[in-house]
A = this chain, B = another copy of it.
């Protein structure tokens, strides 16, 4: 960590700060420039609060040179992490296709979709049982009943299950769930992350609406540091000034996260764009830039013409898209 002191810092202030660093077990290397003095800190700075140091009146700026995360970092774990989920894998060249309905609605709905997406090549089934909703008046999901329906679909199709948790108290309900999803709004629910770190479940951690890559990795580090190494990262769009799409899908997340961490990276084009017609091009782009998987919404409700065109693809659209995605992966 590098701390740049302001030109008018007194010798006494500087000594005070150096002593404070030293009391925390750090070595300090002083480099006097023309206008500024730079303190180079040597040792484990991961416990130092950058924003505290930054806010000191004598400090011009602070710069971390080593990442504040360790277990997530590719530096300390150069090989790709490969995670086994049921009889399938993700990471290190293994591509996951996670598909299913936005919300679990009924046994018939779920089983039909599960069979359809399996036939097309999906490797996992997704479906929301607990639904985080902006409004308290919106449908909050089938909750425990939804999990049961997911288990039935798993039995019938053999597809591992991915579903979202909103409260650590619900963990017992998730004992047979294969992948527990942490939604964007809970990415910094640190109490939940710690509890998930104590389990041996695979965790799919979504990037928050306004969170940086570093913050995403720090949240993953909460899980890893408690002992659970099975974390999949997911980019699902960030909030920007553009309102035409629901969010802005940041595909640079794929090569950037691959550089910084060994954890697999999945793209969710359904939530990112909010429009089914944008899902296939964005899923193909995700495959082209090296994503370890995609997560897409598929519905199957022939009785409901209403749903046509929604954020979810039909099974036929999903099938066609997956064929192209597969061909693009062969190019890489």
B138 A49 Cβ-Cβ under 8 A: yes
In the assembled complex, A169 has its CB within 8 A of some CB on chain B:
yes
B17 A241 Cβ-Cβ under 8 A: no
A318 CB → nearest B CB, Å: 16
Distance, CA A167 to CA B191, complexed state (A) = 7
A213 B242 Cβ-Cβ under 8 A: yes
B46 A137 Cβ-Cβ under 8 A: yes
In the assembled complex, A74 has its CB within 8 A of some CB on chain B:
no
In the assembled complex, A248 has its CB within 8 A of some CB on chain B:
yes
Complex contacts, A142 vs chain B, CB 8 Å: none
A243 B190 Cβ-Cβ under 8 A: no
Distance, CA A35 to CA B289, complexed state (A) = 30
A285 CB → nearest B CB, Å: 4
In the assembled complex, A172 has its CB within 8 A of some CB on chain B:
no
Distance, CA A68 to CA B137, complexed state (A) = 9
A306 B56 Cβ-Cβ under 8 A: yes
Shortest Cβ distance from A47 into B: residue: B137
**Which of A81-89, A116-124, A150-158, A269-277 binds B?**
A269-277
A248 CB → nearest B CB, Å: 5
A250 B252 Cβ-Cβ under 8 A: no
Distance, CA A310 to CA B53, complexed state (A) = 8
A249 B252 Cβ-Cβ under 8 A: yes
Contact of A282 among B212, B248, B252 (CB under 8 A): B252
B309 A58 Cβ-Cβ under 8 A: yes
A4 B65 Cβ-Cβ under 8 A: yes
Contact of A51 among B51, B274, B307 (CB under 8 A): B274
* B-contact bits for A246-257, CB 8 A (1 contact / 0 none): 101111101110
Distance, CA A194 to CA B241, complexed state (A) = 26
B284 A51 Cβ-Cβ under 8 A: no
Chain A contact residues, CB within 8 Å of chain B: 2, 4, 7, 13, 16-17, 20, 29, 31, 33-36, 38, 40, 42-43, 46-47, 49, 51-52, 54-61, 63, 65-66, 68-69, 75, 132-139, 166-169, 185-186, 188-191, 194, 208-210, 212-215, 218, 221-222, 225-226, 238-246, 248-252, 254-256, 259, 272-278, 281-282, 284-290, 305-311, 324, 327-328, 331-332
- For this complex, 6 residue pairs linking A to B, each with C-beta atoms less than 8 Å apart, are A52-B310, A55-B276, A57-B309, A168-B169, A251-B282, A285-B289
Ranked 4 nearest A-B pairs via Cβ = A57-B309, A210-B210, A288-B288, A285-B285
